A = this chain, B = another copy of it.
Amino acid sequence: MSTVAALPECALPESLMAALRALLGDRLSTAAAVREQHGRDESYHEPMPPDAVAFARSTEEVVAVVKACAAHKVPVIPFGTGTSLEGHVCAVRGGVCLDVAGMNAVLEVRPEDMDVSLQPGVTRKQLNEYLRDTGLFFPIDPGADASIGGMVATRASGTNAVRYGTMRENVLSLTVVTPDGRVVRTGRRARKSSAGYDLTRLFVGSEGTLGVVVEVTLRLHGIPEKIASAVCPFPDVRAAVDTVITIIQTGIPIARVELLNAAQIDAVNRYSKLDNRVAPTLFFEFHGTPNHVAEQIEMVQAIVGEFGGSDFQWAETQEDRDRLWNARHMAFYAAIAMRPGHKGISSDVCVPISRLADCIVETEEDLKSSTLFTSIVGHVGDGNFHVLVLIDPEDPASLEEAKAINDRVVARALAMDGTCTGEHGVGTGKITYLEEEHGEALDLMRRIKRALDPDDIMNPGKIVRL
C-alpha cells in the first residue's frame, strides 16, 4: 500500500518539460524516488506521484512554472513538508509538484507590530528558532513540523488554539501566485480592514486549490513571563470535558488544555517513558505574569476538584514542560508504536463544546467493538478531537474497518452541528463528507473554485471536484 507498484512514465508534454528544464536545470526532477516521495503524505492514503517535481527558489520561478503549466493545462500541486494527513499532495491527475521547501527565508520581523513576513517553506520550528531572541513566538503547533505555507493551506491549528486562535486568526496577509501566473497580495498588513472581500481568509484553508502561497505575514505573540504546565487524571471523559467547559465559561484564559483518553495515555507512557496514571487525562498550560498564572492555577484547581480530578502533577521548569508537551506532540507516533508496522488513520471532528462529552463518550462506546488499536486525543477547549485507528497495511479489512469507524465519528459530529475536520483539512480523504456537511454551500465553493481557477489546474481533486 505504501509503495507505488509501477510508477508510470512522466506524461508531460516535451515542450513543457523543456521549458521547465530551461528554467530550473537540475531542480526539475523526474527521478522515481523524488516523484514517489512527493506523491505521499504522512497518512494511509495511497500515494499518487506527480509526473515531475519542480524545486522553486523564488516567486519569479513559481510564476514561471505556473504559467508554463497553465499554458498546457497541466496540474500544479504545491508541496511543503509533505506532512499533511488527507492526501493533500496526491497528484490525482498527475502534473507538476511545485516544491517550495527551498523558499525558506524569514524576510522581516517587526517587533513593534508583532508580525513577521516569511517564505512558505519556513517550518514552524524554524520560525520559532529564528524568533528566539526577540521575546516573540508563533503559537500554532500542529503535530508535525509543518511548513508555514502548508499550515496556511490546511488552516492548521494545534494545542494553543484555545488561547491564540488558528491560522485563520493569525495570518495577516498572503502573497499568492494565481492559476494564471499573477502575483497577488490578499490584503494589507493592518490588523483589521473592511476594504472588500476577505481574500486572506479565502486562501487560508484553500489547500493550494486557488493558487500558490509565496509569502506569508503572520501575527506573533509575546512569550509569556511565566508558563506553568500540569497533567491531571479524571474518573471519566465526561468529568474531564465538563471541567474544560467550566474553565472556559469562567473566562480563565487557559493557553492549552488537551485531553488524552486512557488508551492514549498508555501509549504515551510507553513511548515517552512516563508513568502517568492510565485514565482520561487533561494536559494544562497557563501563560501570563507570575501572579496571574498563580491565580489561574488556583481557579482551575478548584474547578478540577469539583469534577473529581486529582493528582495534579506540575511541570514548572522548561525541561519538565518540554518533556510533558513533547509527549503530547508525539501522541500520534506513540499510538503507531503500539503496533509496529501499522499505519495510523486520524479522524479530526470538531463539535460545539456542549456536545463534546457526548460525542467522545459515544465514540468510545463505539470503539469497544473494534479489534483495532484505537485512542483519542482532543484539543478540548475548541471541541476538536482525533480518534487514532491503527491499521495493518497487509490487511485490507483493517483499513475498511478504520474507514467505517471514521464514517461513524463524522456522522456523529455532523449530527451535533460539528465539522468533519477541525484542522487537518479535506484533501482527497474527506471530500465525500463535504456534501453532507455543507449542502448548498458546496455549490458556492465550486463557483469560487471555477471563478479563480477555471481550468482546474491548481491541486485538482481536493476540497471540491468540478
Closest partner residue, chain B, to A246 (CB atom): B112
Establish whether residues B463 and A196, one from each chain, have CB atoms under 8 Å apart when the complex forms.
Answer: yes
Once the chains are docked, how many angstroms separate the CA of A295 from the CA of B225? Answer: 14
Binary CB contact string for chain A from 412 to 430 against chain B (1 if under 8 A, 0 otherwise)? 0110011111111110001
Establish whether residues A224 and B196, one from each chain, have CB atoms under 8 Å apart when the complex forms.
Answer: no
Ordered by A's residue number, 14 sampled pairs between the chains whose C-beta atoms are within 8 Å are A110-B354, A112-B249, A113-B352, A114-B248, A155-B192, A185-B440, A188-B419, A190-B351, A192-B419, A194-B348, A195-B438, A198-B205, A224-B251, A448-B452
- The residues of B that contact A182 with a CB separation of less than 8 Å are 440, 443
Once the chains are docked, how many angstroms separate the CA of A444 from the CA of B179? Answer: 11
A-B interface, 7 closest residue pairs, ranked by CB to CB distance from nearest? A451-B451, A201-B201, A112-B354, A193-B419, A222-B251, A190-B350, A447-B451
Whether A11 is near chain B, meaning CB under 8 Å from some CB there, is no
A447 CB, min distance to chain B CBs, angstroms:
4
Establish whether residues B447 and A452, one from each chain, have CB atoms under 8 Å apart when the complex forms.
Answer: yes
- Taking A178-B444, A353-B113, A452-B444 as contacts, is the C-beta distance between A197 and B188 under 8 angstroms? no
Once the chains are docked, how many angstroms separate the CA of A219 from the CA of B350? Answer: 16
Binary CB contact string for chain A from 83 to 112 against chain B (1 if under 8 A, 0 otherwise)? 000000000000000000000000000111
Establish whether residues A199 and B444, one from each chain, have CB atoms under 8 Å apart when the complex forms.
Answer: yes
Once the chains are docked, how many angstroms separate the CA of A374 from the CA of B178? Answer: 43
- With beta carbons under 8 angstroms apart, the residue of B184, B189, B196, B418 that contacts A417 is B189
- With beta carbons under 8 angstroms apart, the residue of B161, B169, B195 that contacts A420 is B195
- Taking A295-B291, A353-B113 as contacts, is the C-beta distance between A198 and B204 under 8 angstroms? yes
Establish whether residues B197 and A463, one from each chain, have CB atoms under 8 Å apart when the complex forms.
Answer: yes
A253 CB, min distance to chain B CBs, angstroms:
7
Binary CB contact string for chain A from 244 to 257 against chain B (1 if under 8 A, 0 otherwise)? 01001111010000
A281 CB, min distance to chain B CBs, angstroms:
22
B-contacting residues, A432-466, CB 8 Å = 433-434, 437-445, 447-452, 463-464
Establish whether residues A205 and B194, one from each chain, have CB atoms under 8 Å apart when the complex forms.
Answer: yes
- The residues of B that contact A463 with a CB separation of less than 8 Å are 196-197
Once the chains are docked, how many angstroms separate the CA of A315 from the CA of B421? Answer: 46
- With beta carbons under 8 angstroms apart, the residue of B154, B196, B419 that contacts A445 is B196
- Taking A178-B444, A295-B292 as contacts, is the C-beta distance between A422 and B193 under 8 angstroms? yes
Establish whether residues B115 and A194, one from each chain, have CB atoms under 8 Å apart when the complex forms.
Answer: no
Once the chains are docked, how many angstroms separate the CA of A253 from the CA of B225? Answer: 13
Whether A403 is near chain B, meaning CB under 8 Å from some CB there, is no
Once the chains are docked, how many angstroms separate the CA of A355 from the CA of B19? Answer: 44
